[in-house]
A and B are shown apart, each in its own frame.
Chain A
């Protein structure tokens, strides 16, 4: 154990996540062996796909990390406030649809204006998508867990309609939108698929970290998540406001992720644009124990896992969906190993503290 208290704290904070990831990978290896895959070549493929070459890092891992970090940041904020946003997937799609539509419409605008507008449109749509569960919860007491989940399916159907209907490409052949005009695309690092969204995500992570650590509102939000009744009675805050705001902002983050994916990576909208970013985002946030800077790290980690899983499927024939099992094991290990995470503001399902 290092003497320096900061280092020691960091070591303690990292112990559980590291353990969780190791157990997750161990389960993967055991599963591979049980299914008759030689584990070593599969793991080698995983490594190659994630970190093996500069191209893998710049064009697979980092671009993949951007939506995961953005969604993870939003989910982290919502969970902090005790709002169980399980609907990032739907909010992501809402953002992607809005960004596509705005991007296709604004083609003639200068890039400096068009790109921020596209991203903001994504934020707004994600926020609006999350506003429904927030309203249902605060007004009618409908659990946000259920409503955000249900809206995921609505969003998926909406995308399906869009790419076959109003937003379908001009040739009307494939179920996808026209490619976004150059002006609406996030700038990329030349020779790679890495785009400016990463910088946006990093700045937002920093901002959220400052918000949580240094501002009264961020502190009160944490109090609301831990004990809404005490926050109300002792702190004089209105828990339902913080709860709703956190839900809305987390929706905006997921919407931004959708916009940045369309504007920076795929340049078009299509079905299955998200390989489950919304759910992976939960694992990303929990593994980081909801810490914004930690989420950057865990977002990179899961992006590596998923990029590697793709390579694993290509090179070793292992189904890429198996990576979900790893994610699930990571989540379960975290909640089992960490008594704080077990009850972090989650036991009390009532934000109004009644």
Chain B
């Protein structure tokens, strides 16, 4: 396998959790809810995946991760949507709660100063035929099943948003909640469900981080990936397919770190750690004027 393929494969692997989380956040934001708790939901998903996988293998890990993501985002949905509190503050608090909870539970479950925890992970499952495509085949189709699930979910989300009445109502709720209500959309319920979908996907994102990328759990291991997902949603213009592309670009930027680190030995590695965040800021500055946020995003 040559260097380019290695790089691309790493890019897609790194992008998968971002893609899953961003897709979920896009659904929530399309409904008019900005959920900063997604970072917490992802973290909870990661711990859920670790606990589940320890207890009953990767599949249980995935299920536990989804449930954990749902649970955390249910808390957010109730506080921010049902009781109409400020979404930014509620999201920050929910993430804070998730950091505390996961940290405490992790120490309880695996001992105070975690010895490198090693988990049963999802192996790579090459798709017959497709993975033989030159250059891109390996990167796109020799990944963990969760990556394929992510591809499928992109299509599902697109279909949901643009081809179902429910999705039309969801988009209306995000654009003009009052008007949507007058057209018979149950705005609160739609937003609750959208946030829960986002939470489940964030949980899955945590699972893919733990089970398909890192193979272990550490406190605060999501390291802002949930927040990056929010930025990716902006870059992708709130459209599932473009969000997926933006996530892949971002994965590439993060994978670039590994590439650079092995080449540019003199440069401190921390500079590469900063790179994705700085890049995001740069792209956001450039992208903002050209994409349009749902008009009622963040309005309580």
Contacts and interface: CB of A to CB of B under 8 A. Distances in A.
B103 A146 contact: no
B268 A164 contact: yes
Interface string A312-345: 0000011101111111110110011000001110
Nearest to A323: B100
Interface in A136-180: 136, 139-142, 145-147, 149-154, 157-158, 160-161, 164-165
A contacts with B: majority SS: helix
Contacts of A335: 79, 85-86, 89-90, 93
Nearest to A32: B104
Contacts of B277: 150-151, 153-154
Interface in A268-303: 276, 279, 282-283, 286
A149 B96 CA distance: 13
A158 B274 contact: yes
Which of A136, A329, A332, A336 has most B Cβ within 10 Å?
A: A332
B224 A322 contact: no
A36 to B, nearest CB: 9
Contacts of A283: 93, 96
B93 A150 contact: no
A347 B299 contact: yes
Interface stretch (B11-19, B151-159, B194-202, B278-286): B278-286
Contacts of B299: 347
Interface string B79-102: 100011110111011101101110
B280 A325 contact: no
Interface residues of B, number: 49
B274 A142 contact: no
B96 A324 contact: yes
B269 to A, nearest CB: 8
Nearest to B227: A149
B281 A342 contact: no
Contacts of A331: 89, 92-93, 96
B270 A161 contact: yes
A73 interface: no
B4 to A, nearest CB: 27
B92 A279 contact: yes
Contact of B224 (A147, A153, A321, A329): A153
B264 interface: no
Nearest to A280: B96
A151 B107 CA distance: 28
B218 to A, nearest CB: 13
Interface size class of A (residues with CB under 8 A): 35 or more
A132 interface: yes
Given A141-B289, A319-B104, A322-B104, A150 B89 contact: no
Contact of B79 (A319, A327, A332): A332
Nearest to B278: A154
Given A331-B96, A335-B86, A346-B88, A132 B271 contact: no
Given A136-B284, A142-B285, A325 B92 contact: no
B90 A332 contact: yes
A258 to B, nearest CB: 18
Which of A35, A165, A318, A335 has most B Cβ within 10 Å?
A: A335
B144 to A, nearest CB: 25
A138 to B, nearest CB: 11
Given A321-B103, A335-B89, A157 B274 contact: yes
Interface string A16-57: 000000000000000100010000000000000000000000
A328 B281 contact: no
A140 B100 contact: no
Contacts of A346: 86, 88-89
A27 to B, nearest CB: 9
A77 to B, nearest CB: 16
10 contacts: A153-B223, A153-B274, A154-B278, A161-B268, A279-B96, A325-B101, A328-B93, A332-B97, A346-B88, A347-B299
Interface pairs A-B: 7 shortest CB-CB: A324-B100, A321-B103, A328-B97, A161-B270, A325-B100, A331-B93, A346-B86
Interface of B: 34, 36, 79, 83-86, 88-90, 92-94, 96-97, 99-101, 103-104, 107-108, 112, 219, 223-224, 227-228, 230-231, 234, 268, 270-271, 273-274, 277-278, 280-281, 284-286, 288-289, 297-300
Given A146-B230, A324-B97, 6 more contacts: A142-B284, A154-B277, A323-B100, A324-B99, A328-B100, A335-B85
